[in-house]
C-alpha cells in the first residue's frame, strides 16, 4: 500500500479551536460513504463532538443526524478556499498536503448539511431557502 498520513494527524488542533471555525449550511451532500466517525481519528472524540454539536445547533441544526468528518484532498482546496490558497498555507504550513478535514452533520429531517471548517470556504448556502 502507498503512503498515507497517520489517522492521528488528521485533526491537528484542540477541541476549543472549533469555536473559531466557519459554519456553512449546504444541500445535496448525498454521498455519506466518505464521511467517517471522529473516533477513527481521535482517541477521545467526545470533546470535539460536543463543541461541534454546540456550533451546529447555534447555526440552526435541529440536533438529528450523525456528526462525522469529511475529507477534502489538497487538489480541490485552491478553488474552495475563500481567500485562496495563501491563507490556508499560512495556517497549515506543510500540513496543506494532508488536505482538509471538515466536521459535517446531515440533518435527517430535511437533508440539510451543516459543515464546520477551520478556514473560510468559497461556499454559499446552495439549495438553502
φ/ψ of residue 58, rounded to 5 = -60, -30
Residue-level pLDDT at 8: 92
Q: Are 52 and 18 in contact (CB under 8 A)?
A: yes
61 exposed, middle or buried (CB, 10 Å; 0-12, 13-18, 19+)?
Answer: buried
Residue-level pLDDT at 77: 77
Residue-level pLDDT at 86: 65
Residue-level pLDDT at 122: 83
Question: Residue 18: helix, strand or coil by DSSP?
Answer: helix
Residue-level pLDDT at 28: 84
Question: Residue 56: helix, strand or coil by DSSP?
Answer: helix
Question: Residue 35: helix, strand or coil by DSSP?
Answer: strand
Residue-level pLDDT at 125: 57
pLDDT tens for the chain, 129 residues long, are 898 989 999 998 999 999 999 999 998 899 999 999 999 999 999 999 999 999 999 999 999 999 999 999 888 877 777 666 666 666 666 777 788 899 999 999 899 999 999 888 887 655 555
**Close Cβ partners of 98 (under 8 Å, ≥ 6 residues apart):** 5, 9, 10, 74, 92
- pTM of the predicted protein model: 0.87
Residue-level pLDDT at 84: 61
Amino acid at each position: 500500500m502507498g503512503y498515507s498520513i497517520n489517522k492521528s494527524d488528521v485533526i491537528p488542533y484542540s477541541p476549543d479551536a472549533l469555536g473559531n471555525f466557519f459554519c456553512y449550511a449546504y444541500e445535496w451532500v448525498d454521498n455519506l460513504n466518505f464521511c467517517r466517525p471522529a473516533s477513527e481519528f481521535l482517541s477521545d472524540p467526545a470533546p470535539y463532538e460536543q463543541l461541534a454539536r454546540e456550533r451546529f445547533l447555534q447555526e440552526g441544526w435541529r440536533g438529528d443526524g450523525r456528526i462525522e468528518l469529511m475529507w477534502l484532498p489538497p487538489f480541490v482546496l485552491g478553488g474552495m478556499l475563500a481567500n485562496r490558497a495563501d491563507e490556508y498555507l499560512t495556517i497549515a504550513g506543510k500540513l496543506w498536503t494532508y488536505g482538509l478535514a471538515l466536521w459535517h452533520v446531515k440533518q435527517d429531517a430535511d437533508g440539510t448539511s451543516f459543515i464546520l471548517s477551520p478556514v473560510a470556504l468559497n461556499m454559499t448556502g446552495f439549495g438553502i431557502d
